[in-house]
Amino acid sequence: MKSRAWSLMLVALLLVECASGEDPYRFYTWNVTYGDIYPLGVKQQGILINGQFPGPQIDSVTNDNLIINVYNSLDEPFLFSWNGVQQRRNSWQDGVYGTNCPIPPGQNFTYVLQVKDQIGSYFYFPSLAFHKAAGGYGGIKIASRSVIPVPFSPPAGDFTVLVGDWFKQNHTDLKSILDSGNNLPFPDGLVINGLSANSFTFTVDQGKTYRFRISNVGLTTSVNFRIQGHKMILVEVEGTHTLQNTYDSLDIHLGQSYSVLVTADQPPQDYFITASTRFTSPVLTSTSVLHYSNSAGSVSGPPPGGPTTEVDWSLSQARSIRKNLTASGPRPNPQGSYHYGLINTTRTIRLANSAPVINGKQRYAVNGVSFIPADTPLKLADYFNIPGVFTLGSIPDNPSGSGGYLQTSVMAADFRGFVEVVFENSEDSVQSWHVDGHHFFVVGLNGGEWSPASRETYNLRDTVARSTVQVYPSSWTAVYMPLDNVGMWNIRSENWARQYLGQQFYLRVYSPANSWRDEYPIPSNALRCGQAVGH
């Protein structure tokens, strides 16, 4: 009888748990290996996931739990990071060296993360040791829950487009160039989904509408994306439903992701899908093919041309991208109900990029500080109170105006603050900035120097919220950012050479409550390295 009573109690508990509606789980097992790839027609050593380059796509729904078991079959340590996934209360899973110990060769690690309160288009990538130059990246799709209305009809298909510049040299050679204190050479080409020169085909049915999720996964250059003879309706930017403006082409800067709707409304044949570099000389171009299933002919003629060096054109387009205030987000309430423009900011942080030479080597810096990794992930050092790994306040809130110096730079911030961040770029190249663990509202972009008077030009009503933003040459970009996610978060250049040589730092968002409500406890499988070994 006692045994039966326990059985009935167990069944009752399981029924209660099921009734509570726990969010679904999705399980992935990935084996990371080296393998031969031919992105530009030349054999290279690439990073494959389950034998694939690009890697498998993650298809998920808002609030899904993702269990990703990664086997590192490389001969060196390895980490994945998840560009744009906010890791709510869970910087333990962010997958950059400031938060995680690398997965040792021959071992595995299981990421346990949740796409909490998010929708949209993102990507994952290798974050360590310049591995990003060898591939190892893939798309992430977070669909809305079925009960949440989406502001457009379901498309007939959903395509992921991973575009970026590429080098014929292996990632180890590129890393050696940077380690020796030199700049990278100009890229050798562009690839679309790991291929170039019409090697990838997207098949559509005439008269139907398709969604294209486009991410710039490159290392050093912005790109312009267009489809021959077709218009693109922008519908989403890194989790924000946008006003559905129509574009002939889109500038997509490093680390950014966009979703567009394309209707196959042209005569049945094949059309060029074209990507080209922006603000470069020479201009690199790559193509793939939009293939009508009833096509009467192959692609012909030159690929459609696009903008090249025109900054004003790109700036105007950026300003035209606005939030759809009538659309619902991942929760059943309009996105516009969050009136970011009516909230008083608690702090202003000005961040200026620079390219100092330090100890005879080329470095890159933020507010004069060029980041160097510590021997222990900063998140572990913070959690275990390990002294000497980093110092809060080791990067100033404002440009120093002096030359650069090396430091493991960490900025302190208070949980639930609402900060104004101004990215200032006095250099002659476009910059691209990403903030892990957060979204921000892009309230202003303009040329010249930023001043408090610049706030008069801010868009305080319907700008987009995103996690990656560009800063044009001799210009500034201002964002409002809610500090609503406790943890140790990477703020970095998405130009991977600049990131690798120091143009990054960490923001420690702190809550004194020490509560699971604010941050999850350290995972039971968290790896230890450096001074965290034995803790």
Q: How do residues 49-97 score in pLDDT, each as one tens digit?
A: 999 999 999 999 999 999 999 999 999 999 999 999 999 999 999 999 9
pLDDT value at position 13? 32
* Interval 236-261 mean pLDDT: 98
Q: Residue 349 burial (CB < 10 Å; 0-12/13-18/19+)?
A: buried
pLDDT value at position 360? 95
* Interval 122-148 mean pLDDT: 97
Coil, strand, or helix at residue 35? Answer: strand
pLDDT value at position 18? 38
Coil, strand, or helix at residue 309? Answer: coil
List the strands of the sheet with 468-471, edge to edge. 391-392, 409-414, 504-510, 487-493, 431-435, 468-471
If you search the block for the tokens 């790896």, which residue do you land on? 527
Single-letter amino acid, residue 273: I
pLDDT value at position 3? 37
Coil, strand, or helix at residue 11? Answer: helix
pLDDT digits (tens, 9 = 90+) for 144-187: 999 999 999 999 999 999 999 999 999 999 999 999 999 999 99
CA distance linking residue 535 with residue 526, whole number of Å: 11
Tally the C-alpha atoms within 13 A of residue 97's C-alpha that lie toward its C-beta: 23
For residue 293, name the pLDDT band (cuts at 50, 70, 90). Answer: very high
pLDDT of residue 420 exceeding 70: yes
* Interval 375-400 mean pLDDT: 97
Q: Which has more confidence, 402 or 221? A: 221
Tally the C-alpha atoms within 13 A of residue 378's C-alpha that lie toward its C-beta: 28
* Radius of gyration in angstroms for the set of CA atoms belonging to the chain, rounded to a whole number: 23
pLDDT of residue 120 exceeding 50: yes
CA distance linking residue 534 with residue 504, whole number of Å: 29
pLDDT of residue 524 exceeding 70: yes
pLDDT value at position 337? 62
The overall average pLDDT reported for the chain is 94
* Interval 459-488 mean pLDDT: 97
pLDDT digits (tens, 9 = 90+) for 9-28: 333 333 333 334 579 999 99
pLDDT digits (tens, 9 = 90+) for 342-383: 999 999 999 999 999 999 999 999 999 999 999 999 999 999
pLDDT value at position 21? 59
Specify whether the CB–CB gap between 532 and 381 falls below 8 A. Answer: yes
CA distance linking residue 254 with residue 277, whole number of Å: 11
If you search the block for the tokens 């406790």, which residue do you land on? 486
pLDDT of residue 6 exceeding 60: no
Per-residue b or e along 392-411, where b marks 16 or more CB atoms closer than 10 Å to that residue's CB: eebbbeebeeeebeebbbbb
List the strands of the sheet with 223-227, edge to edge. 201-204, 285-292, 270-277, 223-227, 249-252
pLDDT value at position 334? 65
| 121 DSSP β-pair partners | 141
Q: Dig out the tokens for 174 from the structure.
A: 């590129």
pLDDT value at position 329? 87
For residue 514, name the pLDDT band (cuts at 50, 70, 90). Answer: confident
pLDDT of residue 4 exceeding 90: no
